[in-house]
């Protein structure tokens, strides 16, 4: 199992009319993979009350799973992004 951070974002416009991602909610979960981490995180939040446009799932670095061999170097984070805008 790996540790993942799942971040839920909404695309909003600032006063100058530029788009940016506004963090709505963030959840840390343990999962076998990023897709499963997304499913688990969505169960933990009230997704319908949030206006989510983008979801990022990042494997947390430096947290070895029980099946990985320990070493002196940290595993780099791996990011997966799901966009919900049509």
Three-state SS string over 43-78 comes to HHCCCCCCCCCEEEEEECCCCCCCCCCCCCCCCCCE
Query: In the structure, what pLDDT confidence band is assigned to residue 52 with cuts at 50, 70 and 90?
Result: confident
Query: In the structure, what pLDDT confidence band is assigned to residue 78 with cuts at 50, 70 and 90?
Result: low
Selection from 12, 24, 13 nearest residue 55 by Cα: 24
Query: In the structure, what pLDDT confidence band is assigned to residue 51 with cuts at 50, 70 and 90?
Result: confident
Token pair belonging to 53: 């446009």
């Amino acid at each position: 199992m790996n540790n993942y951070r799942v971040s839920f974002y909404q695309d909003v416009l600032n006063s100058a009319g530029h788009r940016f991602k506004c963090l709505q909610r963030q959840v840390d979960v343990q999962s076998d993979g990023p897709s499963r981490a997304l499913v688990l995180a969505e169960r933990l939040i009230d997704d319908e009350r949030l206006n989510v446009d983008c979801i990022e799932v990042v494997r947390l670095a430096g947290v070895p799973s029980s099946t990985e061999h320990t070493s002196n170097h940290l595993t780099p984070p791996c990011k997966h992004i799901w966009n919900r805008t049509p």
